[in-house]
Amino acid sequence: MATSANTELLDQLILRHRVEQFLTTEAELLDSRQFEAWLDLLADDIRYWMPLASNQPHGEWDGEYTREGTDLNWFDEGKFELEQRVIQIRTGLHWAEEPISRTCHMFSNLQVHEDGADRIACRCRFLVYRNRTETETDFFVGKRHDQLRRNGDGFKIAAREIFLDQSVLLAKNLTIFF
């Protein structure tokens, strides 16, 4: 006989599994360059934000990342800007993506929390590997905070905050998606 605690735990496990499958599908779409299908996973009002990191003295970590809406950021985009980036990559004339990058998106340490009836907050760690031409290899490592919105039987990404764990970008460009 199932108790309410067991039912709640089972519901949490099912939700975590569904979110994990969603994020795995997203990674596969990006790695297989199915950018239009990836765009379909994004809510129309998405906020895609990546602040810059800076080195801080011991104990003064609150200022490690630039502030939202105040300071410079690597990205602060909506769906329109993301669509324009995909269009630009698809032209074959985009200098930073010709030849196009080969990527591998990985995530771990997934945490999932229901945040109301239709919103799910999730956090994870990520590693994105990119290779271009014969000699360009980049590793992007960091944390991601996503807000998912229920959409029928699935989800849409309503917000994504990307925190790179490097204060100096060693890559030549940031044309990939996280």
**9 assigned to some structural domain:** yes
Structural contact between residues 124 and 108, judged by C-beta atoms closer than 8 angstroms: yes
What's the CA angle centered on 130, arms 157 and 105, to 5 degrees?
A: 35
pLDDT of residue 52: 86
pTM of the predicted structure, to 2 decimals: 0.90
Tokens encoding 34 = 């199915």
* Cβ proximity of 72 and 39 under 8 Å: no
pLDDT tens-digit readout, 98-137:
888 999 999 999 999 998 779 999 999 999 999 998 889 9
How many Cβ atoms sit within 10 Å of the Cβ of residue 158?
19
Domain holding 89, by residue range, is 4-164
Please give the Cα distance from 5 to 155 (Å, whole number): 25
**Cβ 148 vs Cβ 155: under 8 Å:** yes
**Domains contained in the chain, number:** 1
Mean pLDDT of 164-169: 89
Closest among 150, 54, 160, 174 to 107, alpha carbons compared: 160
| Alpha carbon separation from 45 to 3, 30, 42, 156 (Å, rounded) | 39, 20, 8, 10
* pLDDT at residue 116, rounded to an integer: 78
Looking at the domain assignment, is residue 125 inside a domain?
yes
- Once rounded to an integer, what is the mean pLDDT over residues 68-76? 87
- Greater confidence (172 vs 146) lies with 146
Residue 34 falls within a domain, yes or no? yes
Reading the block at residue 14, the tokens are 């099912």
User: Considering the domain boundaries, does residue 100 fall inside one?
Assistant: yes
- Summarised one tens digit per residue, pLDDT across range 138-154 is 999 999 999 999 999 89
Please report the pLDDT score of residue 70 as a whole number. 81
List CB contacts of 100: < 8 A, sequence separation 6 or more. Answer: 33, 89, 132
pLDDT tens, position by position, 4-56: 888 889 989 999 999 999 999 999 999 999 999 999 999 999 999 999 888 78
CATH of the domain at 146: 3.10.450.50
In the predicted model, is pLDDT for residue 162 greater than 80? yes
Q: Is residue 178 part of a domain?
A: no
User: What b-and-e string marks burial along 123-149, b requiring 16 or more CB atoms within 10 Å of the CB?
Assistant: ebbbebbbebeeeeebebebebebbbb
Instruction: Say if 176 falls within a structural domain.
Output: no
Number of H helices, E strands in the chain: 3, 6
Q: Evaluate whether residue 158 is within a structural domain.
A: yes
Position 173 in a domain? no
Whether residue 1 is predicted with pLDDT greater than 60 in this model: the reply is no
